[in-house]
Amino acid sequence: LRRSVALRARVLRDGAEREVPAGDLVPGDVVLLRAGDLVPADGVLLEARDLFVNQAILTGESFPAEKHAGAPASPTATPAEAANALFLGTSVLSGTARLLVCRTGRATMLGHVARELAHRPLPTAFEAGIRRYGIMILRLTVLLVLLVVLVNALSGRALIDSLLFALALAVGLTPELLPMVTTVTLARGALRLSRRRVIVKRLAALHDLGAMDVLCTDKTGTLTEARVEVARAIDADGRESARVLALAWLNSHFETGLRSPLDEAILACGGVDAAGWQKLDEVPFDFERRRVSVLVGRGDELLLLVKGAPEHVLDRASHCETAAGLRDVDEAMRERLRRSFASLSAEGFRAIAVAYRREPPGHRSAALSDEAELVFVGYVAFVDPPKACAADAIATLAARGVAVKILTGDNEEVTRHLCARLGLAVEGTLTGEQLSRLSDEALRARLDGTTLFCRLTPQQKTRVITALRRAGRTVGFLGDGINDAPALQAADIGISVDSAAAVAREAAALILLEHDLMPVHEAVEEGRRTFENVLKYVLMGTSSNFGNMFSMAGAALVLPFLPMRPAQILLNNLLYDLSETALPFDRVDAQAIARPERWDIGFVRRFMLVIGPVSSLFDFIAFFLLLRVFGAGEALFQSGWFVESLVTQALVVFVIRTRGPALASRPHPLLAGMVLLAVAVAVALPYSGAGAWFGLVPLPWPVLAAMAGLAAAYLGVVEVVKRLFWSRAARIGSGP
């Protein structure tokens, strides 16, 4: 921001003109401006002549804004609406002005943008979800460990044994693999996106993308090409007309001075032969007339070509060209031509009028008085065209459950027309002025029913995004200008493009290297894949793993010996963790990424309370078989349950990893290999010399067969319970 506004200014002080550093300006200074100058402060215009400025740094709009001295604007006016004011960082395209400085430095509108960037944003959906999950795990672990220590102490067991057992239990309950699973999953997702020319600056942003259910986007430069092009040229009858465009082209071709973007768009059309035409004179544009006239000649033909603001050209027209020939411009015809202009505006076009006047031979100069009794020929309409990929990207996001809202500094008519071209249904609109009158509660009530937010300041964009987040939505914002930087930072996930302003790129978490919006949809899908694989680990840890730990704690309360030694618990936990290390590489079902995914601790808790007891039930069945059927002593009991608990914990991933039938969803070969390897080690360990180090003894074949049958029955029951759980969750709209 400092580099953007490092400049010097010409000021009037003590009646003399002098040049000073912009940083030395104070309220009350009078600044002199001309074409090419950067505006050094916020202020109101004392004088303005033919003044057009580029305000894209604040509004994002590519069309030049016309400015003039006049009555003060409303305090709530946006830069686009404040026709008598200039703002720090904007640039003068044409004309001259005298500006009375009102605000400098951090008090300016651009300074407000800088202050917004200094604010600490709300925690993202991912950060808040991880924090809630960590608190839930901590509470359960502390509660269970304290209970085990207390009961063992009351039972008269050695304190050191009780403490070691409790600590091992705490390790078993801790999801220590979560950071690794999360980081590897995110890193793989970021790597895949980089191949699609998308750079992920903040890895956690991928999870937020998966949870995103609202995408707010700027209009200019994101949904549109951020350039002006000729859309139509129509005559007085409303028909497409090459003659209208040809006359406008000659006017722009021979016009002197700094060409506006509209002139550049007209000249880009080409196709007009200027050979033989000669410029004789010109009446430059000024604010009062709002038109420019060029006198050209070819042989004996002399034409005064006029183009400008429709109302100001129509006022000077006495005739118009129609299919039936020249017609007088009476009140009825004048009203008809005005309606034609209004229709173009309603369709989102910006238009200028074109007219001419034939001059007699020998007429070699042009004057203001010549701009009379003009022949009106038609309108040239301009548009900032939508990106070719924008419509498909919006439709694809909508199909994936992501609502799109437009936050722009432009007016409602232009934005509505763009939405129509993109196929985006408009449910409601809010302007910046209306927004400024709403309380935060009233704004939240309007959010769901509003698609367009028009004439917004950078601060108002941030306010809309913050309100959406406080309403429980996960919000992305797509923007590329300095004015978008606060909104990019305020969103859960800020998305920008490689050609964006440096401040916008810095504030964004995701950078698109191509001017194509389809990678946004691909990034959303990648985010959902990463979330789904992390969720698998979380659901595993809070169901099967917690079930086993609860069983262990319960058994410790009633058995005359520890159900598993501390070293065995740690070994069990290590092998289980190794089996889960391939989860970041697992495949994800299409059903799981069809809708936005977000952290829902209530859902995780319900899953734990449904699947966890199933795990504990089968553990207690294993206890019964080992004690009552096989009469196992301490070593055999611990060895049998070591095998049963690890086999069930590891194999259940094949059931929990998918919401559909386990046999219909193929896991990644690496995951399948790691799980089966952990199971093989668990079964073989009691028969090896290494098993003796941990107090494990060989299992008789009947015991091993019973444990295998129990594991198979457990997987079948979990499959049925899981299907019922997901079915009910879908019916009541509950889920991550």
Q: In 410-525, at which residue ranges do the beta strands (DSSP E only) sit?
A: 429-431, 452-454, 475-478, 493-497, 510-512
- Within a domain: 101: yes
pTM exceeds 0.95 for this model: no
**Phi-psi domain of 735 (left: phi exceeds 0; alpha: psi -120 through 50; beta: other):** left
Q: What is the pLDDT of residues 58-97, one digit of tens each?
A: 776 666 788 888 766 666 666 767 888 999 888 888 788 9
User: Helix %, strand %, coil % for the chain, to 5?
Assistant: 50, 20, 30
Q: Which CATH number belongs to the domain containing residue 627 in this structure?
A: 1.20.1110.10
* Surface-to-core class of residue 170, CB atoms within 10 Å of its CB (0-12 exposed, 13-18 middle, 19+ buried): middle
Q: What is the CA radius of gyration of the chain?
A: 36
Instruction: Label residue 257 by pLDDT band (50, 70, 90).
Output: low
Tell me, yes or no, whether 586 and 686 share the same domain: yes
Q: Are 336 and 235 in contact (CB under 8 A)?
A: no
Tell me, yes or no, whether 251 and 371 share the same domain: yes
Instruction: Label residue 158 by pLDDT band (50, 70, 90).
Output: confident
pLDDT above 60 (res 4): no
Catalytic residue among 42, 208, 213, 218: 218
Tell me, yes or no, whether 44 and 77 share the same domain: yes
Q: Which two tokens stand for residue 458?
A: 């950078």
Q: Are 638 and 571 in contact (CB under 8 A)?
A: no
> Length of the chain, please?
736
Q: What is the pLDDT of residues 120-129, one digit of tens each?
A: 667 777 778 8
CA distances from 542 to 4, 548, 619, 698 (A): 52, 10, 16, 30
Q: Which two tokens stand for residue 107?
A: 């008090």
pLDDT greater at residue 202 or residue 318:
318
> Rounded to whole angstroms, how far apart are CA atoms 644 and 641?
5
Q: Roughly what angle, to the nearest 10 degrees, separates helices 109-118 and 458-470?
A: 30
User: Final residue of a domain: which of 382, 399, 426?
Assistant: 382
- Within a domain: 202: no
> Rounded to whole angstroms, how far apart are CA atoms 506 and 458?
16
> Rounded to whole angstroms, how far apart are CA atoms 687 and 693?
12
Tell me, yes or no, whether 264 and 143 share the same domain: no
Question: Into how many domains does the chain fold?
Answer: 4
Q: Which domain holds residue 467?
A: 209-226+387-513
pLDDT greater at residue 675 or residue 593:
675
Tell me, yes or no, whether 629 and 662 share the same domain: yes
CA distances from 555 to 67, 547, 552, 623, 697 (A): 81, 12, 5, 8, 20
Q: Which two tokens stand for residue 156?
A: 């008269």
Tell me, yes or no, whether 589 and 706 share the same domain: yes
pLDDT value, residue 258: 63
pLDDT greater at residue 291 or residue 156:
291
- Within a domain: 449: yes
Which are the contacts of 280, defined by CB distance < 8 A and separation ≥ 6? 295, 296, 297, 302, 364, 365, 366
Tell me, yes or no, whether 355 and 372 share the same domain: yes
- Within a domain: 610: yes
Q: Are 175 and 541 in contact (CB under 8 A)?
A: yes
User: Final residue of a domain: which of 513, 548, 575?
Assistant: 513
Q: Is 484 a catalytic residue?
A: no
- Within a domain: 163: yes
User: Final residue of a domain: which of 89, 118, 147?
Assistant: 118
pLDDT value, residue 276: 85
Tell me, yes or no, whether 361 and 262 share the same domain: yes
Task: List, in sequence order, the alpha helices (H) in 324-411.
Answer: 331-346, 390-399
Q: Which CATH number belongs to the domain containing residue 442 in this structure?
A: 3.40.50.1000
Q: What is the pLDDT of residues 623-669, one digit of tens each?
A: 999 999 999 999 999 999 999 999 998 999 999 999 989 999 999 99
Which are the contacts of 657, defined by CB distance < 8 A and separation ≥ 6? 536, 586, 665, 667, 671
- Within a domain: 199: no
Q: Which CATH number belongs to the domain containing residue 323 in this structure?
A: 3.40.1110.10
User: Within 10 Å of residue 345's Cβ, how many Cβ atoms?
Assistant: 16
pLDDT value, residue 5: 47
Which are the contacts of 536, defined by CB distance < 8 A and separation ≥ 6? 583, 586, 653, 656, 657
Please, what is the Cα angle at 215 between 214 and 216, to 5 degrees? 115
Q: Which CATH number belongs to the domain containing residue 79 in this structure?
A: 2.70.150.10
- Within a domain: 447: yes
> Rounded to whole angstroms, how far apart are CA atoms 37 and 47?
16
- Within a domain: 49: yes
With residue 321 as reference, give the H or E element that holds it: strand 317-322
Tell me, yes or no, whether 471 and 408 share the same domain: yes
Tell me, yes or no, whether 582 and 681 share the same domain: yes
301-308 vs 317-322, strand pairing mode: unpaired
pLDDT value, residue 6: 52
Helix (H, G, I), strand (E, B) or coil at 259: coil
Tell me, yes or no, whether 344 and 248 share the same domain: yes
pLDDT above 70 (res 14): yes
Helix (H, G, I), strand (E, B) or coil at 411: coil
Tell me, yes or no, whether 708 and 584 share the same domain: yes
Task: List, in sequence order, the alpha helices (H) in 222-330.
Answer: 242-254, 261-269, 310-314
Q: Are 11 and 21 in contact (CB under 8 A)?
A: no
